[in-house]
Amino acid sequence: MATAARMGRKVTVATCALNQWALDFEGNLQRILKSIEIAKHKGARYRLGPELEICGYGCWDHYYESDTLLHSLQVLAALLESPVTQDIICDVGMPIMHRNVRYNCRVIFLNGKILLIRPKMALANEGNYRELRWFTPWSRSRQTEEYFLPRMIQDLTEQESVPFGDAVLSTRDTCIGSEVCEELWTPHSPHVDMGLDGVEIFTNASGSHHVLRKAHARVDLVTTATTKNGGIYLLANQKGCDGDRLYYDGCALIAMNGGIFAQGSQFSLDDVEVLTATLDLEDVRSYRAEISSRNLASSQGPVRVPALRACPSQASRVSPYPRVKVDFALSRDEDLLEPLSEPVEWKYHSPAEEISLGPACWLWDFLRRSQQAGFFLPLSGGVDSGATACLVYSMCHQVCEAVKHGSQEVLADVRTIVNQTSYTPQDPRELCSRILTTCYMASENSSRETCNRAGDLAQQIGSHHIGLNIDPAVKAIMGIFSLVTGKSPAFSAHGGSSRESLALQNVQARVRMVIAYLFAQLSLWSRGAPGRLLVLGSANVDESLLGYLTKYDCSSADINPIGGVSKTDLRAFVQLCMERFRLPALQSILVAPATAELEPLAHGRVSQTDEVTAVAPSPCFFPHLPAAGFLHGLLSAPTSHAPSLGSRPGSPGLSAIHRGPSAFNSGRHGSDLRGAVGLREAPEDRQDGALQHVLQTPLRVEGRLHPQTGGRQSEAVLLEVFRE
């Protein structure tokens, strides 16, 4: 009995989610060291970090620069010689140049010695991912080469070369194998054969951005992998905004034998989050021993493997992985009384909650990294701009919660933003009054109802609200035109042609964009406060798909946090905000008809609604707009994975997150994001653009491209897709 107790079988492992910044080598180093320190404090003897955590995932073409590789090596050197990294196996991500080929690698080291450099074997290259542009996949399965270390590393490790390739670590008590992000999603993931070859702990370092319901897919993949094959699975992920338009949503986890034993947060403002779990290796071994399909002979007979005898067992027929022997144990000798981690049930967010939390976290990261003083939002009294305002209010709510729970990093950031070293946010409304300026830009075509709705919402969320009239600017511009041409265009309601009416509407929309940027730059100056504001746009994905927007109007902004969200999802999100944040002004916004208010009022009432003008000459098409967003994301997303927004096929009320500068996107990897502040592919004029953007965009139906060229015929084809 005493001998059994000294064997050690309980292992404590750690994974993490880090908010790494692209090319912030010093900051990234400090966050990595902090995560290792926390892992050691919790008793872990193995620590896994996110993909490319040393340089940050979103370096893009900076990967081509030798400085990126050099500074990554300098950070690695600092990690190798730091006392924090002693007595724990550290698994970090960085780019490595081997034989003049650039690889996305895991560097695994212990006590100042590099054990293995494991290059990524399957690169993500669809949707938002372009890894093949910068890296080459390692194609030599279960083979290694010598990697000759740079002199700066040799001097520290006293190693001339280390193994480079597809291998596993064999410690005194277990065997550890690595996957990198995309490899988990491939049809035949490495963990399958690694598990059959005796690997008991699988690790996955990811750079996976947020998509609605993507957490479901991640959890399903990990639990399925360990259900079929047994074993312990660690998943680490990037979190936050990595300097781009994507939000990485953490969701680090630890699983064993199909169960979850540690769940990381999906939306958090903390830069460093570390998960640990203490698990029994004997649970893995006994679980595997009961899987007859794993242990019995395959019906196809043994696979011929050089230097091995044919064996009827499926597990023993697998071509073995090269093993790197490590004189170190993850378990401790006397661990009989050490408590084990208990399984937990994964807690998912609803799609509306994800919209409330994900883009809000992304806005916070974008704001603090841009070193601006807040946001400027044209608030029209409609659902789109109201939803954008609610996202900022949700951000303020999360900031106050983080400060309440003792986050010194968030507190320091918010003090920098508001330029007050003694400020401590406690009330989201009060914080919102400092960092959000809203503006209702009225014209002679604006109604009292939209003005009241905008003012009521601004008052309830606490934003600094401005009301102004754009008519003097519009008349001045039209006066220049009349002075030069001798012509005075008129609205259709006043006897003008459709061309005249369109031009007059577009002038109003574009004047609002110019005014928005002017006030964003100088409104704080006028109040005697330092800094500038970021202009927020509020064009949803349905409008972008349809082309129902005026180029360079208020949809043109620094950032558009709802540019990838459909109207259906925005309405669900606004409903959630109304109930959760107690914002009754949103009720009137939800029931009001959508209108651009660019044409003259009829007896003081709105005469122009989106339902008519957006889809002329076919208003019956309007109810199908959310379905257009859903289908565009669903049909363009990889069919082997869950539909965007986490919906199952045929689920009502959910639509796809599509291209647009947004915090999250559709499909497993999302759609490409075009332009800084909205699609530049929309038609010149709003009404002329109705349906044309949809009709000119190829539809992907069952893997085939269908370019649409005829008006009525194209609409019929699109509606047929809806029916299917």
Positions marked catalytic: 51, 120, 181, 380
Of the candidates 53, 160, 60, 170, the one whose C-alpha atom is nearest the C-alpha of residue 114 is 160
Summary count for the chain: helices (H), strands (E): 23, 22
Cβ neighbourhood burial of 675 (10 Å; 0-12, 13-18, 19+): middle
Asked, as a colleague might, if the bond just before 617 is cis with ω within 30 of 0, I would say yes
User: Can you read off the two tokens belonging to residue 73?
Assistant: 């090596």
Please answer whether residues 396 and 432 qualify as being in contact, where contact means their C-beta atoms are separated by less than 8 angstroms.
Answer: yes
Of the candidates 595, 660, 596, 649, the one whose C-alpha atom is nearest the C-alpha of residue 627 is 649
Q: What is d(CA 91, CA 50) in angstroms, rounded to the nearest whole number?
A: 9
Cβ neighbourhood burial of 160 (10 Å; 0-12, 13-18, 19+): exposed
Strands 253-256 and 232-241: antiparallel
Q: Point out which residues pair with 203 in neighbouring strands.
A: 178, 234
DSSP state of 378: E
Tell me the three state secondary structure of residue 180: strand
DSSP 420-441: -TT-----HHHHHHHHEEEEEE
Tell me the three state secondary structure of residue 240: strand
Q: What is d(CA 48, CA 51) in angstroms, rounded to the nearest whole number?
A: 10
The strand ranges marked E within 74-192 are: 89-98, 101-110, 113-119, 144-148, 161-165, 168-170, 175-180
Please answer whether residues 400 and 410 qualify as being in contact, where contact means their C-beta atoms are separated by less than 8 angstroms.
Answer: no
Give the sign of the dihedral formed by CA 319, CA 324, CA 330, CA 334.
positive
User: Can you read off the two tokens belonging to residue 566?
Assistant: 């459909």
Of the candidates 522, 387, 537, the one whose C-alpha atom is nearest the C-alpha of residue 466 is 522
H or E, element range at 642: none
Q: What is d(CA 709, CA 692) in angstroms, rounded to the nearest whole number?
A: 9
DSSP state of 369: H
Find the DSSP H helices in 486-613: 498-526, 541-546, 567-580, 585-591, 610-613
Length of the chain counted residue by residue: 724
Strands 168-170 and 323-325: parallel
Q: What is d(CA 220, CA 641) in angstroms, rounded to the nearest whole number?
A: 11
